[in-house]
Amino acid sequence: MDGLTDARGQTRQIELKMDFLRGHQELAEANRRLLDEHGVTMIDIMGSVGTGKTSLVEQLARRLKETYRMLVLNGDLATSIDQERVLRHGVEAVQVNTGKECHLDAGLVRTVLEGLDLRQLDLVLVENVGNLICPADFPLGSHRRVVVISATEGPFVVLKHPHVFAEMDFVVINKIDLAPVMGIDIEQLAKDLKVVNPLVEVFRTSCRDGTGIQELIEELIEKTKRSPDTETTSGA
Ligand code: MG
Ligand code: ZN
């Protein structure tokens, strides 16, 4: 193969990737319209395995279930462990197993939404597959996207994944109760986040003792319920 053929092949690959991502974007926009028609707010919760996404969802479920008719969509490669954790709080949950896929996408979410009576819902919390990197590239049609990181991920989690955080509106730093044990400076993590994304809203939580949860609910859930159409930097 000469250099020219290589270059053309590469261009074609890039075009295919663009078409692929555009397709997902259109599906996400359709999901968003469907949700808006029914007054349902959807939040996409992303983050690595073990940062406390499910614990956060449980905290939110416990405090919001009397206010909103809610449902949790749990994404995982396998098992229904997370779904069962949510169901224990008396909140509806749907488990989506992706097999080898390391993220949820708008098509999968669409399938779930079409199986629901959206007139009976106010709020859908999506717990994405545990993965810090690629879920950010797959908008689901949610009203807000949030990434959960934790004090157990080391001091460089933000600086090593700048593009993920550059696109996010909200970041939760969880397990702050473990920061002293882990030797992690939470304020340095927050500063790193502001460097990669000056607009990001940073929350500090401990799902173990409930620190910071109420503030997160006000900013992430209640404000979104009041004005769901606020443009997000992620275009979610
Ligand atoms: Mg989980
Ligand atoms: Zn993936």
Structural domain contains residue 235: no
What is the span of the domain harbouring residue 43?
A: 2-226
Phi and psi angles of residue 70, each rounded to the nearest 5 degrees, phi first: -125, 160
Q: Ligand 1 being an ion, which residues bring their Cβ within 5 A of it?
A: 53-54, 82
Indicate the pLDDT class of residue 233, thresholds 50, 70 and 90.
Answer: very low
pLDDT digits (tens, 9 = 90+) for 22-37: 889 999 999 999 999 9
How far is residue 198's CA from residue 17's CA, in Å, rounded to a whole number?
Answer: 29
Question: In CATH, what number is assigned to the domain containing residue 28?
Answer: 3.40.50.300
Structural domain contains residue 232: no
Ligand nearest to the CA of 73: 1
Structural domain contains residue 236: no
pLDDT digits (tens, 9 = 90+) for 145-201: 999 999 999 999 999 999 999 989 899 999 999 999 999 999 999 999 999 999 999
Structural domain contains residue 234: no
Structural domain contains residue 233: no
pLDDT digits (tens, 9 = 90+) for 56-84: 999 999 999 999 999 999 999 999 999 99
**What is the Å distance from ligand 2's center to 180 Cα?**
32
Ligand nearest to the CA of 48: 1
pTM: 0.90
Structural domain contains residue 185: yes
How many domains does the chain fold into? 1
Q: What's residue 226's pLDDT?
A: 92
Indicate the pLDDT class of residue 21, thresholds 50, 70 and 90.
Answer: confident
**What is the Å distance from ligand 1's center to 5 Cα?**
45
pLDDT digits (tens, 9 = 90+) for 205-223: 999 999 999 999 999 999 9
Structural domain contains residue 193: yes
**What is the Å distance from ligand 2's center to 135 Cα?**
6
Q: How many CB atoms lie within 10 A of CB 173?
A: 27
Structural domain contains residue 34: yes
